[in-house]
Structure 1
Amino acid sequence: MQDMTGLDQLVSRLRAILAERDYLIVGLTGSVAVGKSTLARALGEALLPDPGAEIVGTDGFLLPNAILEKRELMMRKGFPETYDREAMAAAIRSIRLGQARIPAYDHETYDVNPAGARTLSRPDILILEGLGFEPPGGPVKKTDRPDILVYLDADQRDIETWFLARFMRFWNAAEHDPTSFYAQFRNMTVPQAEAFAMSVWRKINLPNLTQHIEPLREHADIVLKKDARHQLTVVSDRTLQA
């Protein structure tokens, strides 16, 4: 087991847990820019063809920008109050019954994309990745939350580096895409754009991480740590104690 990568170990545990039930809903969370989507895709590929998995991003459950602007919450996007948690809980309830309508999100326009919504039939493993999960002891019933929670951890310095790289990737892509949310920042020089990105990280994403996301790590069923080279290690697994 020690020779296995963190991804291999996680896949092995999910297969073992699934063997004892009909389906499995996995919540995958962690900081903005830590690599949740990348890990979710790797998991999905590793689980193919049997049992197979579907991936759903929780960004689709964010409130639309129009509502966030009306409530003066645009600068807190990603914080718990910017998610439609009842809609997420309802989707989890529906998928347990066999089928659910899943909303979509467009990272280029930085908004919910109604045209991208899809109807999803319950897969063997559903990977629900992103933010917006209720903390333990919250009002959401057990049936309305994932069966297990996986937390992807990393050093804050590394996450900050990855956040800056991601922001600049979107910023560069917006040069030829006036519909992109990031097009409004194209009048900035590269140093100005980088400084702005770091300001967003310090004022929005870092406080969200320390106040709302990191506390979930202590209650996660499985915690993985990613190093600066993007290597994964399983650092705790409470499912082995169940």
Structure 2
Amino acid sequence: MNYYLPFIEFNRDDWASLLDETYVPLSEAELQRLKGVNEKISIQEVEDIYIPLTRLLHLYVNAYQELQQQNNQYLGSRAKKSPYIIGIAGSVAVGKSTTARLLQTLLSRLSNRPNVSLVTTDGFLYPNEILEKKGIMNRKGFPESYDRRKLLQFISDVKAGKPAVKAPIYSHLEYDILPDQFEVVDNPDILIFEGLNVLQTNRSDRVFVSDFFDFSIYVDADQENIKRWYIERFLLLRDTAFRDPDSYFRVYANISEEEAIEKASQVWKEINEVNLYRNILPTRGRAKMILRKGPHHHMEKIYLRNL
């Protein structure tokens, strides 16, 4: 894998050797709650990959907070506390949500017990009604399907240390924004911001979401693996969440496995693959870290941009 920027490459064994023996262990039951629908992730994966990553992030967060204190002392400033913001990007079905949830849990267990918030960009999608009016309902998840102004205002307010900043809530069951429902982000020590296009730049914007990141992670894998994981997830959801009477995808609950594979493959080819190659994958090199997965969701390589 070639990049213009200077990345340090770690294989799995080298990275696992950085394990912090003082970590608070994660139970199997906790891991089951945190992982995605069809992700095959083990406690060993947590120890080999996520514990060393948590330790590294702890060093970065401490350095950031110390610099803030020194800056305020030097300037005689009474600036509000500014959180350390971690952006997590990657394709649909690659496992970035599991990565985000794991890091939130592990970071919150550090010795100083930081307040760690997690927000996804799904809440900043335009409501279906607006997407339909714009004629881009089949482009949900593409950069143009997000209310970028609202998204930028949210992350700017959080970074500025404003209290009780509201983020809209998206329902995957209803496949839409929940009107008048919000989650409140109130002066966290760390904010994890996860989404398909968080590293995206747009020529019409002068400020980008990633401008507010202190660290960024791109979860990567071969396209064929991601496609297979997407189809596997679709099949599992067909037998579970799609059967809920309130599910937007209720129509797919009773189709055959062959029909489900055909439908999932069509959606992948016409929407998710296009978004991946056009918008998401080109941002990979902008991340400070790339987590490279093999065919079974296990990390094989870690690329860390040199300081």
* Structures share fold, TM-score greater than 0.5: yes
Whether 2:118 is the aligned partner of 1:55: answer: yes
Which of 194, 200, 203 pairs up with 1:135? 200
Which of 163, 170, 175 pairs up with 1:105? 170
Pairwise CA distance, 1:64: 0.6
Task: Give the distance between the partners of 1:219 and 1:44, measured in 2 at CA.
Answer: 22
Pairwise CA distance, 1:135: 3.0
The residue number in structure 2 matching 1:184 is 251
The residue number in structure 1 matching 2:22 is none
The residue number in structure 1 matching 2:38 is none
Whether 2:184 is the aligned partner of 1:124: answer: no
Find the residue that maps to 1:63 and give its secondary structure: coil
Whether 2:139 is the aligned partner of 1:72: answer: no
The residue number in structure 1 matching 2:91 is 31
Q: Name the aligned partner's letter for residue 97 of structure 2.
A: S
Which of 147, 151, 158 pairs up with 1:84? 147
Residues 1:77 and 1:175: Cα distance change in structure 2 (over 3 Å): closer
Extract unaligned runs of 5+ from structure 1: none
Q: Name the aligned partner's letter for residue 18 of structure 1.
A: V
- For the pair shown, the structure with the greater C-alpha radius of gyration is 2
Residues 1:233 and 1:88: Cα distance change in structure 2 (over 3 Å): farther
TM-score scaled by structure 2? 0.72
On the 8 A contact 2:235/2:261 being kept in 1, the answer is yes
Share of identical aligned residues, percent?
A: 37
Task: Give the distance between the partners of 2:56 and 2:201, measured in 1 at CA.
Answer: 22
Superposed CA RMSD in Å reads 2.0
Instruction: Give deviations 1:114-155, integer Å, cap 9, x for gaps.
Output: 354122112111100112325357521578632222100011
On the 8 A contact 2:293/2:301 being kept in 1, the answer is no
Task: Give the distance between the partners of 2:87 and 2:217, measured in 1 at CA.
Answer: 6
Residues 1:26 and 1:69: Cα distance change in structure 2 (over 3 Å): same
The residue number in structure 1 matching 2:64 is 21
Extract unaligned runs of 5+ from structure 2: 1-13, 20-47, 66-82
Task: Give the distance between the partners of 1:14 and 1:175, measured in 2 at CA.
Answer: 37
Residues 1:181 and 1:142: Cα distance change in structure 2 (over 3 Å): closer
Which of 223, 238, 257 pairs up with 1:156? 223
The residue number in structure 1 matching 2:293 is 226
Q: Name the aligned partner's letter for residue 200 of structure 1.
A: V
TM-score scaled by structure 1? 0.91
On the 8 A contact 1:134/1:140 being kept in 2, the answer is no
Task: Give the distance between the partners of 1:81 and 1:137, measured in 2 at CA.
Answer: 10
Residues 1:52 and 1:174: Cα distance change in structure 2 (over 3 Å): closer
Equivalent residues, number: 240
Residues 1:142 and 1:208: Cα distance change in structure 2 (over 3 Å): closer
On the 8 A contact 2:198/2:209 being kept in 1, the answer is no
Whether 2:171 is the aligned partner of 1:171: answer: no
The residue number in structure 2 matching 1:46 is 106
Q: Name the aligned partner's letter for residue 33 of structure 1.
A: A
Q: Name the aligned partner's letter for residue 39 of structure 1.
A: T
The residue number in structure 2 matching 1:201 is 268
Q: Name the aligned partner's letter for residue 118 of structure 1.
A: E
